[in-house]
Structure 1
């Protein structure tokens, strides 16, 4: 897929479109000026002036517009733009495969699970009406139970957007122990925002009372943060002019919504990113490789969809690497429970099958294929990722 060729074609069309737009604007302005000049000539200066020949003025205007020929300019510019668009469309058709079914593997999908994933995605995006409609049409009445937790989450979001931290603090208080297990200080951050809000209103006594009640329990583990907040008491009502003005940054509110979302999904046993989003994004990245593989295998009259392992790597980048994967550098096979990675005394790692083939017996020493040191099978230790 020649992306550079497509980009060049697109850039040419975009440049032509800008040029055409500029030309149209200039012509329209010129026509408007000519009409305004004609109108000025048709207006009498005073009652004693010689009668104005309106027909003559209109005739002159018509002749000038005829000389300008704006419609002809429009047509020429539009034709040039259409030519560029046609070339761009042909380039897209040439470089993109319209039928991507060839990249589909012969796998059995659990329709119920797929429907749950789609419904959960809609609910976690806040599209509750669409989610209900999908659940109804897919005949998955049990899936609607996924809706309730996300309704609560979005109620908290709406309250935070209105600068009301009450619902978020109440939820974090109930989930306090579970949040601590996740090494999250979300509850402290919420109380910190609430403290700053009270302080900004100028109520120093109320802010101090709030700190003693809700911030004091965190003082032993977060002494430095609490000290900075206590220093803010000296700037009640004018915190924006203080050395601690960063506490008032709007980014804190955006971040707190994101962190609430992360922790909410985590406590539900779900990832922060929608599984459907991840699958589609990964599929888009891997699709060109799979389509090319399908074409090559078809030319060799082989069916790649029946293979247990792809003959070529599909590099999806680090963002889609969720688990460590070991591939033996000798046998070129991925590690498994039956064939785990083994660490040799020299520090190199091979698969168990490779070491067994190299050693030929449990007592016989064998040379590492990557360094001159020798090892025996009992000296090798299994690695756990």
Structure 2
């Protein structure tokens, strides 16, 4: 641990030195300056007589040359900084090969490509996503054609080649088809989400409130409180007044504006949120000294906008049938967290000649934070095996829980006896538990 700390301290010291070197932004500024010079010269040439063209170009030479030299100097400085930070990283954290020959994702390239495409769309990088999808599909088609040519070279006839083509097409459509991500509707949905999130960062709640109202039926069916959370935050934001929210100082802002907003928008929330609405109404009596009132927590909104943005993202993606977090981000983050312990375990077992040989199962529980634990884990008390989708936990009439395969082995005909109590039951009375 001490050595790791010293490495980080050395890297931090190196970074402070490198941070003083020229940045790429200087080179970009000089490029912009060259563009401005050339644009101005083009306008002069276009509006001046022919005799002035040569003079304009001559005057342009020295400033452009100077600017190009500045660009080159800036690029050299940025390249030197990049090179030094690379060397510093290599010294502090030398690259080590993973102590395994098994690549768990080698046979799942299509899933990786889908995760990358979806991640780019979710981040609002639509042009990059479109280029990525096109390149993946063109690469796949070239591989298919190469395989067909190889098949023909080996003596296959035309009918076999057509069958192979059909087979490759089926494989492409089932495993590698990313054309659905080219959907205009899907891209428009993510563009809408991205724009609303940008507005939330700017503390503009109205686009998110409008979206929640337009989808209130679906959100209500999910038991979501998003629309009320947004409206409540809008009330508090208006209550803060123009000195905090920066909105126009008129009858729609401040305490009067918050009251007007509540009267117009809170009526249809009374069934589910009457007590919270009452608290907001009572808080107005303490407006002169809200910080010392019993309602001060309602108006503490340091993280309110980021919290409501997370809630909005979760609900928006849920209505699209997607997870709230990017699968690519989750997989990469979980892998980065678990990898150090996995490498340490593998290195020690290799040294002892007792390496783990099961490729689709971990030798120990992957250490992940609670935010990445999405469901409970049940281990059958009889078989000692972890339940899966194919072998789910089943509750029997007496209340004990067993794995489905264990329950089937205990059955004699259609009846079974609980291994933990004297109760008996029938297989049809067992109920699957959803974790």
- Normalised to the residue count of structure 2, the TM-score between the two structures is 0.55
- Take 1:234 and 1:157, find their aligned partners in 2: how far apart are those partners? 33
Q: Deviation at 1:89?
A: 6.7
Q: Give the unaligned 5+ runs of structure 2.
A: 18-86, 138-177, 242-248
Q: 1:220 aligns to what SS in structure 2?
A: helix
- Take 1:128 and 1:337, find their aligned partners in 2: how far apart are those partners? 35
Q: Corresponding residue for 2:167?
A: none
CA RMSD in angstroms, aligned pairs only = 4.6
Matches within 5 A, 1:190-339: 190-199=230-239, 200=241, 201=249, 203=251, 206-233=257-284, 243=293, 244=295, 246-247=298-299, 249-288=301-340, 291=343, 292-293=345-346, 296=349, 304=357, 309-310=360-361, 312-317=363-368, 318-335=370-387
CA offset digits 1:37-96 (Å, max 9, x no partner): xxxxxxxxxxxxxxxxxxxxxxxxxxxxxxxxxxxxxxxxxxxxxxxx99x978855xx7
Q: 1:281 aligns to what SS in structure 2?
A: helix
Does the 8 A contact of 1:297 with 1:304 survive in 2?
no
- Normalised to the residue count of structure 1, the TM-score between the two structures is 0.61
Q: Give the unaligned 5+ runs of structure 1.
A: 22-84
Q: Deviation at 1:275?
A: 0.6
Does the 8 A contact of 1:122 with 1:130 survive in 2?
yes
Q: 1:122 aligns to what SS in structure 2?
A: helix
Does the 8 A contact of 1:362 with 1:378 survive in 2?
yes
Between Structure 1 and Structure 2, how many residues are aligned? Answer: 306
- Take 1:181 and 1:160, find their aligned partners in 2: how far apart are those partners? 24
Q: Deviation at 1:273?
A: 1.2
- Take 2:101 and 2:299, find their aligned partners in 1: how far apart are those partners? 54
Matches within 5 A, 1:1-385: 4=1, 6-7=3-4, 9-10=6-7, 13=10, 92-93=93-94, 97-99=96-98, 102-105=101-104, 108-109=107-108, 111=110, 113-139=111-137, 142-145=180-183, 146-199=186-239, 200=241, 201=249, 203=251, 206-233=257-284, 243=293, 244=295, 246-247=298-299, 249-288=301-340, 291=343, 292-293=345-346, 296=349, 304=357, 309-310=360-361, 312-317=363-368, 318-335=370-387, 341=393, 349-351=401-403, 354=406, 368=420, 374=422, 378=426, 381=430, 383-385=432-434
- Take 1:150 and 1:220, find their aligned partners in 2: how far apart are those partners? 32
Q: Deviation at 1:326?
A: 3.2
- Take 1:155 and 1:338, find their aligned partners in 2: how far apart are those partners? 41
Q: Corresponding residue for 1:40?
A: none
